[in-house]
A and B are shown apart, each in its own frame.
Chain A
Amino acid sequence: MEARHPTRDYVREEVLPTTFCPGCYNGIVMNAMALAFKELGIYDLRSYVFVSGIGCASWIPNPYLKADSIHTLHGRAIPVATGIKLAKPSLNVIVIAGDGDLASIGGNHLIHAARRNMDILVIMVNNLVYAMTRGQQSPTTPQGFITITTPYGNFEKPFDISRIIVETNANYVARWCIVNFPQLKESIKEALAKYNRGFRFIEIWAPCITYVVRYEGKTAGGALKEMSKKCVPLSDYEKLPMEKRDGCIAVGVFKKELKPSFIDLYKSYVEKAVGGVNGI
């Protein structure tokens, strides 16, 4: 039997190869998702709807994934996902977009969806820059980084998005580097199965191969090696003295809960008030 890459079962072969740059980590994100689905026994994605914004990461589902996918405006994936989920709750709605899309132009939607514990899974591919528009500074660009719009170094402090979401009413928050492939895959599985309600957020640290890795004169392999040294499990990170934390990336599951979600609460409030009937 011919060996077949597991991801192929979940992609539209007719649109391959992808337009991602050679070495782009978006392929690893796709593999992690595909493997997560396979291991959960989900062989077709007909009950899943993928919603993305604008940017490189947003191209992962549209057109590559063999599923219903909606490629929305820049920053508006979460509202569209919210509308879909509320109008047809039987669908599993997954948002995939970049750091610029979700944390900058769509930042307000992100924190409000988290506050509402809206029933969607959001996967943020944090490549540290606005990759699609040629690598400008994003709200997650580390301090000191040189980008095309911070030619003298980025003096702004970045957001720690996962920490921000932890502070909200979200049910599930995890961050993994692209080198933590097995853990990332397990996290996706968890957020799809065991913790399948409320707002779930997975940040994937995957520096842009073109505008971060090569821009700094590094190779894809070298960058991965460096990254595996930098990412520290959450429990270890918290034991580190402050001065040693700089430059480290805390990875792990920050939060996992099964609090009632937006839809759970909508149902129960409406039922209490008007008795029985409701649309969700």
Chain B
Amino acid sequence: MRKLLSGNEAIAEGALAAGCSFFAGYPITPSSEIMHYMARELPKRGGVFIQAEDELAAVNIVIGASLAGAKAMTATSGPGFSLMQEGIGYAVMVEAPIVVVDVMRVGPATGQATKPAQGDIMQARWGRHGDQYIVSLAPSTPQEAFELTIEAFNIAEELRVPVILLIDEFIAHGREVVVPPKLVTKYRRTVMEGGEEPFNSMNPRIAPPLPELGSGKYLLITGSTHDGWGYRDVHNFETHFNLVKRLRDKIMLNLDRLFMYEAYGNEDPDVLFISYGSTARSVKEAVNELRSRGVKAKLIRLKTLWPIDLELIKRLGGDPKVVIVPEQNLGQLIMDVERIYNPFEYRVIGCNKVGGGIPIYSNELVEEALKVLGSGGKASN
């Protein structure tokens, strides 16, 4: 049945469809509607909702609930997301599957609380101390917010990793038509039966089975460096190096499954756009417009913001005269894109706008593309 939902509502409904049974959160614009929805719906469905005293509590409550067997989620925005970082790093270390929604608003600090931005994509990726790898996804529509929330739970459960859903305020508060999928594939964690190490895996692509509290296995769970059985080892090089390497490999060796994208437009474009989230909506229209004017144009829209398959992007992008990376920040994804294009051969430019709730309009992108093409496109030196 079709519904008219905001991105936030779609995330809440997607979470329930994925089997989320636990939510803890702290109020913050523009994410609060997710919490409001869960406060109302979870108790009815046998789930648990609690409003935490702050975001530090929220993320750690969710980690506790996850370790005790619940599919658990929290939602926040910039300032709260910053407070949650240490907890997310802990979840990486103890391999607790959790879903954290960050509705991106204008920062830093309190910034413009009600206005959209895409400024947290690097924080989502690297916001914690130490070597740690997570997964982050970025929907472009409420429909996709619904679908990627389910995906977020599945990835979290399968890989025992925090998954961060990055949605910008435009999509979070914008209402659009959503058709919930009839059939939802729900991945459920494998639980330790005995005999297996809960923190080690022979195959680095596969997460070890989750320990189950209260099953008489006398589990040791710690955020300090630990061996496969959870015994703390804060001295030895091998224990630490093997642990962080495995935690990285668990993500990076699954790149083919984790990296999701949409490619749209000409096979071999002169103008290549690389974008994500709400911005990609304007880009799509710009691609249509450019093509109607006879310019070969293409959009590669990232649904996964981390990990990203740069080689694949390079292959999909062909041999463009110009690469444009529109973002609602001062240039974050462009740092990755610049790494794959030789600066002596290609022109990579950003198109950046953030603040005030003013989107990047498609006509601005068209003008920018035509201007660069007109001036020769490819780097000429």
Q: Does B355 contact A (CB under 8 A)?
A: no
Q: Does B242 contact A (CB under 8 A)?
A: no
Q: Does B367 contact A (CB under 8 A)?
A: no
Q: Could you tell me which residues of chain B, from 25 to 76, have a CB within 8 Å of some CB in chain A?
A: 42-48, 50, 52-54, 56-70, 72
A70's partner among B53, B87, B221 (CB-CB below 8 A) is B221
Question: Which partner residue on chain B sits nearest A47 by CB separation?
Answer: B214
Q: Does B216 contact A (CB under 8 A)?
A: yes
Question: Are A68 and B90 in touch, CB under 8 angstroms?
Answer: no
Question: Which partner residue on chain A sits nearest B94 by CB separation?
Answer: A70
Question: Are B231 and A15 in touch, CB under 8 angstroms?
Answer: yes
A66 to B64, CA, bound (A): 20
| Cβ–Cβ < 8 Å partners of A81 in chain B | 64
Q: Does B218 contact A (CB under 8 A)?
A: yes
Q: Does B338 contact A (CB under 8 A)?
A: no
Question: Are A69 and B220 in touch, CB under 8 angstroms?
Answer: yes
A269 to chain B, nearest CB (A): 8
Residues of B in contact (CB 8 Å), total 49
Question: Are B63 and A279 in touch, CB under 8 angstroms?
Answer: no
A-B contact count (CB 8 A): 149
| Cβ–Cβ < 8 Å partners of A46 in chain B | 214-216, 218
Question: Are B65 and A83 in touch, CB under 8 angstroms?
Answer: yes
Question: Are A91 and B57 in touch, CB under 8 angstroms?
Answer: no
Question: Are A88 and B221 in touch, CB under 8 angstroms?
Answer: no
A83's partner among B56, B63, B231 (CB-CB below 8 A) is B63
B40 to chain A, nearest CB (A): 10
* A-B pairs with beta carbons under 8 Å apart, 23 shown: A12-B218, A68-B219, A70-B94, A72-B90, A79-B58, A79-B61, A83-B60, A83-B64, A84-B213, A85-B64, A85-B68, A88-B68, A88-B69, A88-B213, A91-B68, A108-B53, A109-B53, A266-B48, A274-B44, A277-B44, A278-B43, A279-B21, A279-B48
Given contacts A67-B218, A79-B60, A109-B53, contact A73 B69 (CB under 8 A): no
Q: Does A39 contact B (CB under 8 A)?
A: no
A86's partner among B50, B60, B223, B232 (CB-CB below 8 A) is B50
A100 to chain B, nearest CB (A): 16
Question: Are A278 and B46 in touch, CB under 8 angstroms?
Answer: yes
Question: Are A86 and B218 in touch, CB under 8 angstroms?
Answer: no
Question: Are A270 and B22 in touch, CB under 8 angstroms?
Answer: no
Question: Are B53 and A83 in touch, CB under 8 angstroms?
Answer: no
Q: Does A90 contact B (CB under 8 A)?
A: yes
| Cβ–Cβ < 8 Å partners of A42 in chain B | none
Q: Does A260 contact B (CB under 8 A)?
A: no
B57 to chain A, nearest CB (A): 4
Question: Are B215 and A82 in touch, CB under 8 angstroms?
Answer: no
Question: Which partner residue on chain A sits nearest B50 by CB separation?
Answer: A86
Question: Are B70 and A73 in touch, CB under 8 angstroms?
Answer: no
- Which residues of B line the A interface, CB within 8 A? 21-22, 24, 42-48, 50, 52-54, 56-70, 72, 86-87, 90, 94, 211, 213-224, 231-232
| Cβ–Cβ < 8 Å partners of B42 in chain A | 279
A279 to B66, CA, bound (A): 14
B-contact 0/1 string along A226-265, CB 8 Å cutoff:
0000000000000000000000000000000000000000
Q: Which 3 A-B pairs have the closest CB atoms?
A: A83-B64, A79-B60, A83-B65
Q: Could you tell me which residues of chain A, from 36 to 55, have a CB within 8 Å of some CB in chain B?
A: 44-47, 49, 51
| Cβ–Cβ < 8 Å partners of B70 in chain A | 83, 87-88
A82 to B64, CA, bound (A): 7
B223's partner among A66, A67, A73, A109 (CB-CB below 8 A) is A73
Question: Which partner residue on chain B sits nearest A115 by CB separation?
Answer: B53
Q: Does A197 contact B (CB under 8 A)?
A: no
A85 to B211, CA, bound (A): 16
Question: Are A68 and B56 in touch, CB under 8 angstroms?
Answer: no
Given contacts A68-B213, A83-B68, A84-B213, contact A277 B56 (CB under 8 A): no
Question: Are B221 and A86 in touch, CB under 8 angstroms?
Answer: no
Given contacts A62-B220, A79-B60, A279-B42, contact A86 B48 (CB under 8 A): yes
B209 to chain A, nearest CB (A): 15
